[in-house]
Amino acid sequence: MNVRRWRLALGRYADGALPRAQAFGARDLDLDTALGYLFDREYAERGLRPEPGGGGSLDPSQLTAINWLARTRELFPKSAFERMQAKAVERYGLTELLADPATADSLEPSPELGAALLTVRGSIDAKLEAGLRTVIAKVVEQIAARLKTRFAQAFSGRRNRFRRSFRPRAQDLDWRATIRANLANYDAETGRLVVDRLRFNARARRSLEWDVLLCVDQSASMAESVLYSAVCASILAALPGVNVRLLAFDTAVVDLTEQASDPVGVLMGAQLGGGTDICRALRYCERLVRTPARTVLVLISDFEEGGSVAGLVAAAGRLKAAGVTLLGLGALDESAAAVFDPHVARLLADRGMEIGAMTPDRLADWLAEVMG
């Protein structure tokens, strides 16, 4: 058993329950102090107080939130640091990290941190709004930079396998046609095919507009999906031939379409938590449909319906019967690990809604495919 690792994981309160470990070195003491500053808050919530002279003191004069941030960034790998940073805000209330503009600006932007800040946004002091906006803006910028190219590529035109293109683009490579065109170059002795002629598919151009209704659940568990939804809406809003309606709902529906091009503004106004009335949201969407055959409704939710399940299923059935393309996402983030109500999801699938969980780049490909 690696006693050192267990001791660092469990903290100083495990000293009496573990076999005696070799003495901590200077780095181990730094790790213990950094971990203790964060996770001793868990013990404090259970009524345990730090012992005099113990490591990992909560005393702000010994280790302030700002110093903790700088020290932790140096001590831990980037992935571990980002998780601890998000946990510090979401679970342990280290919102003082937002109080100092320089510190807020130094926070490492990540979707996990953005989701954590959205979760606690409604409970933090108004004086921290500026720092919160700074961090949210950095997270949005990071995500948008990664997704804009993917959306632009996906929406630049659907591949047409019956027309050839002379513009070499990797995503349009037709490998079957390329192999056929180069069969004469096959070397039987080495088993290699020398390719000197590449074949590419052309892309069809969209001439008609599409309406995309992004209907986003504001439940507390959907924080990361709300974050990605806001960014995806802003990217879609900038694409030609795409009309975006951005809707956020809990027990009421808020139309954020006028803010769709400003994801930071959308997120700063998001109200995560509360009940969930998906039925009301879909009924609202019904009123927005102009051309059903050229409308895609993307419902992003955990499907934990607090309203009428029968009404929800009926609304989905009406939309599908009218010709609207329906997609229900249990998650829209980089992990695509969805946790949602399987019963409600199955009922919606029976009414023609495609149910799944996907990453934002996959959503770009899917939308481009159905709107081609």
Shared domain for 247 and 313, answered yes or no, is yes
Shared domain for 307 and 197, answered yes or no, is no
Shared domain for 347 and 294, answered yes or no, is yes
pTM score, whole prediction: 0.70
Instruction: Among 144, 166, 182, identify where a domain stops.
Output: 144
Shared domain for 195 and 320, answered yes or no, is no
Task: Let me know if residue 264 belongs to a domain.
Answer: yes
What pLDDT is stored for residue 14 in this prediction?
65
Count of alpha carbons within 13 angstroms of residue 308, beta-carbon side: 12
Q: List pLDDT tens digits, range 309-321.
A: 999 999 999 999 9
Shared domain for 248 and 268, answered yes or no, is yes
Instruction: Among 144, 170, 194, identify where a domain stops.
Output: 144
Q: What type of residue is 21?
A: A
Residue range 58-74: mean pLDDT, rounded: 61
Task: Let me know if residue 107 belongs to a domain.
Answer: yes
Distance CA 19, CA 3 (A): 7
In three-state secondary structure terms, 278 is helix
Q: List pLDDT tens digits, range 262-318.
A: 999 999 988 887 789 999 999 999 999 999 999 999 999 999 999 999 999 999 999
Count of alpha carbons within 13 angstroms of residue 367, beta-carbon side: 35
Q: What is the residue range of 286's domain?
A: 210-370
Task: Let me know if residue 223 belongs to a domain.
Answer: yes
Is a pLDDT exceeding 80 seen at residue 18? Answer: no
Q: What percent of the chain has pLDDT over 70?
A: 79
Shared domain for 276 and 194, answered yes or no, is no
Through-space distance between the first and last CA atoms of the chain, rounded to whole angstroms? 58
What pLDDT is stored for residue 285 in this prediction?
97
Shared domain for 130 and 70, answered yes or no, is yes
Task: Let me know if residue 151 belongs to a domain.
Answer: no
Instruction: Among 107, 122, 144, identify where a domain stops.
Output: 144
Residues 6+ apart with CB under 8 A from 200: 164, 165, 166, 167, 168, 169, 172, 173, 174
Task: Let me know if residue 149 belongs to a domain.
Answer: no
Shared domain for 217 and 195, answered yes or no, is no
Distance CA 84, CA 156 (A): 39
Task: Let me know if residue 150 belongs to a domain.
Answer: no
Q: Domain count for the chain, please give it.
A: 3
Q: DSSP readout, 56-107?
A: S---TTTS-HHHHHHHHHHHS-HHHHHHHHHHHHHTT--GGGGTSHHHHHHS
Task: Let me know if residue 153 belongs to a domain.
Answer: no
In three-state secondary structure terms, 357 is strand
Residue range 221-245: mean pLDDT, rounded: 93
What pLDDT is stored for residue 53 in this prediction?
45
Shared domain for 9 and 47, answered yes or no, is yes
Shared domain for 295 and 178, answered yes or no, is no
Q: How many residues does the chain have?
A: 372
Shared domain for 354 and 315, answered yes or no, is yes
Distance CA 249, CA 25 (A): 52
CATH code at position 276: 3.40.50.410
Question: Do the beta carbons of residue 118 and residue 110 sit within 8 Å?
Answer: no
CA angle 346, 348, 349 (to 5 degrees): 60
Task: Let me know if residue 299 belongs to a domain.
Answer: yes
Shared domain for 97 and 220, answered yes or no, is no
